[in-house]
């Protein structure tokens, strides 16, 4: 695996593949790679000829009071993990390479960026949309891989790719979970041992929502109330617990088609999110 730090080096590294008509896969990451990221890299390895992993802790998607400085960083460990999972190129640019002096453009996806995460983290999705647009233009992949754990981010990216006619296929990959159900996240590193059992509140809420739908509940408010029960039992207060349309993230009133149940909560120092798509018969696609 080759590590490159500038767009010029990246383009030079990818030139032979492009000349030969090989397909290029991109896995954008902020590092602190865990099994969820590795599953994206493995999907890219299986689906494309040349796999690029980007490693960039994007400052524009963090609010001033968020964890930009504390965000876990271990480039050497990430490089080993990415290579082990099948990456060919690690693109690890500096902040100045991505946002040079005079940088003045923001990509904003209206609508889907606004509720839930967008309401709690103003500007977050503008930062994500801007950096992802740049990464897609820098790498020019055939396919880019994102985790469904960040479902709203995935919906924002799908919208921007469609709206801007970007010539890339977006692949949403399943959430990878710990054996007890906790969704893998770089921010799980913030969980103190005494908080770890309470972190299960999110996945249990989603399971309770699924069971309620499977048992015949169609009213979205009743599904949300059922999901709330395990959270209350574990003493975890949701920041939001919402039943929404999976594309627009607007609230729905009934589970009469596929819906997304999305939840966010603080558990100790960690702010965690999780979600599940639920079909009207209570199955999960």
* Residues near ligand PAF (CB under 6 A): 28-30, 58, 61, 128, 131-132, 150, 153
DSSP 97-137: HHS-TT-------TTTTSSTHHHHSTTHHHHHHHHHHHHHH
Q: From the CB of 46, what's the least distance to ligand PAF, in Å? A: 20
CA angle 136, 141, 143 (to 5 degrees): 105
Our CB check for ligand PAF shows the closer of 125 and 244 to be 125
Options 30, 31, 37, 160, the catalytic residue: 37
Alpha-carbon gap, residue 27 to 98, rounded angstroms: 17
Report how far Cα 119 is from the mean position of its chain's Cα atoms: 17
Distances (CA, A) of 52 to 15, 39, 61, 153, 156: 13, 14, 22, 20, 22
The residue assigned the tokens 């979970």 is: 177
CA angle 37, 275, 136 (to 5 degrees): 45
Q: From the CB of 34, what's the least distance to ligand PAF, in Å? A: 11
Half-sphere exposure of 261 (CA within 13 A, CB side): 34
270-278/259-267 β-pairing:
antiparallel
Q: From the CB of 123, what's the least distance to ligand PAF, in Å? A: 13
Q: From the CB of 146, what's the least distance to ligand PAF, in Å? A: 6
Our CB check for ligand PAF shows the closer of 148 and 228 to be 148
For 148, the token pair is 């469904």
Q: From the CB of 70, what's the least distance to ligand PAF, in Å? A: 15
Our CB check for ligand PAF shows the closer of 62 and 252 to be 62
Our CB check for ligand PAF shows the closer of 29 and 175 to be 29
Report how far Cα 169 is from the mean position of its chain's Cα atoms: 16
Q: From the CB of 86, what's the least distance to ligand PAF, in Å? A: 18
**Listed residue (73, 74, 53, 132) closest to 98, CA to CA:** 132
Our CB check for ligand PAF shows the closer of 128 and 212 to be 128
Q: Is 37 a catalytic residue?
A: yes
For 249, the token pair is 């993230």
Our CB check for ligand PAF shows the closer of 106 and 283 to be 106
Distances (CA, A) of 28 to 82, 141, 147: 12, 11, 10
Catalytically active residues are: 37
């Amino acid at each position: 695996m080759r590590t490159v730090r500038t767009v010029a080096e990246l383009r030079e590294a990818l030139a032979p593949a492009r000349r030969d008509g090989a397909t290029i896969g991109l896995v954008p990451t902020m590092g602190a790679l865990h099994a969820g990221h590795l599953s994206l890299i493995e999907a890219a390895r299986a689906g494309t000829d040349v796999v690029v992993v980007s490693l960039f802790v994007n400052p524009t998607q963090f609010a001033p009071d968020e964890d930009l400085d504390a965000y876990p960083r271990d480039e050497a460990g990430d490089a080993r993990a990415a290579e082990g999972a099948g990456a060919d190129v690690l693109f690890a640019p500096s902040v100045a390479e991505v946002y040079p002096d005079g940088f003045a453009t923001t990509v904003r996806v209206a609508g889907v960026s606004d509720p839930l995460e967008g309401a709690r983290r103003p500007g977050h999705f503008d930062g994500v949309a801007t950096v992802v647009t740049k990464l897609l233009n820098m790498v020019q992949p055939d396919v880019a891989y994102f985790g469904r754990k960040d479902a709203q981010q995935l919906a924002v990216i799908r919208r921007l790719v469609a709206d801007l006619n970007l010539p890339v296929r977006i692949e949403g990959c399943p959430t990878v979970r710990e054996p007890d159900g906790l969704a893998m996240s770089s921010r799980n590193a913030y969980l103190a041992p005494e908080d770890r059992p309470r972190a299960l509140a999110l996945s249990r809420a989603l399971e309770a929502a699924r069971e309620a739908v499977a048992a015949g509940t169609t009213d979205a408010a009743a599904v949300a109330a059922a999901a709330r029960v395990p959270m209350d039992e574990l003493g975890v207060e949701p920041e939001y617990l919402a039943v929404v349309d999976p594309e627009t993230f607007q609230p729905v009133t009934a589970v009469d088609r596929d819906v997304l149940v999305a939840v966010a909560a603080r558990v100790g120092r960690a702010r965690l999110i999780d979600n599940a798509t639920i079909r009207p018969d209570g199955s999960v696609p």
